[in-house]
């Protein structure tokens, strides 16, 4: 859709996006923006560091559930891993 079409049909555009449709907005024949449902936007923001953070979250869950065992399972958790992950996330955040 071009900018004029989006302006004229904004409520309809929002309804379509709310139902999951992605809409590209063009100006002078070039795509200048895209509207997409917030859930899809979150999926697009996944980066390698965020994937590693998610793995760390899962490892914390495993560790938490195994604390009552004689030998707890801490998965891939380590201070070095945590420090590297925080550094990677900060670097990616500063780029984006």
Q: Where do the domains of the chain lie? A: 3-42, 46-95
Q: Tell me: the pLDDT tens digits for 13-56?
A: 999 999 989 999 999 999 999 998 887 776 666 677 778 887 88
Higher pLDDT, 91 or 96: 91
Q: Tell me: the pLDDT tens digits for 59-72?
A: 777 777 766 666 65
Nearest to 77 by CA among 66, 93, 91: 66
CATH of 3-42 given 3.40.50, 3.40.1620, 3.30.720, 3.90.1570: 3.40.1620
Arithmetic mean of pLDDT over the chain: 80
């Amino acid at each position: 859709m071009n900018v004029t079409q989006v302006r004229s049909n904004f409520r309809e555009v929002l309804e379509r996006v709310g139902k999951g449709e992605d809409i590209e907005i063009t100006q002078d024949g070039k795509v200048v923006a895209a509207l997409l449902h917030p859930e899809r936007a979150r999926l697009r923001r996944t980066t390698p560091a965020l994937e590693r953070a998610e793995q760390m979250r899962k490892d914390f869950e495993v560790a938490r559930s195994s604390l009552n065992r004689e030998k707890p399972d801490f998965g891939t958790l380590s201070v070095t891993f945590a420090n590297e992950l925080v550094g990677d996330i900060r670097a990616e955040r500063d780029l984006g």
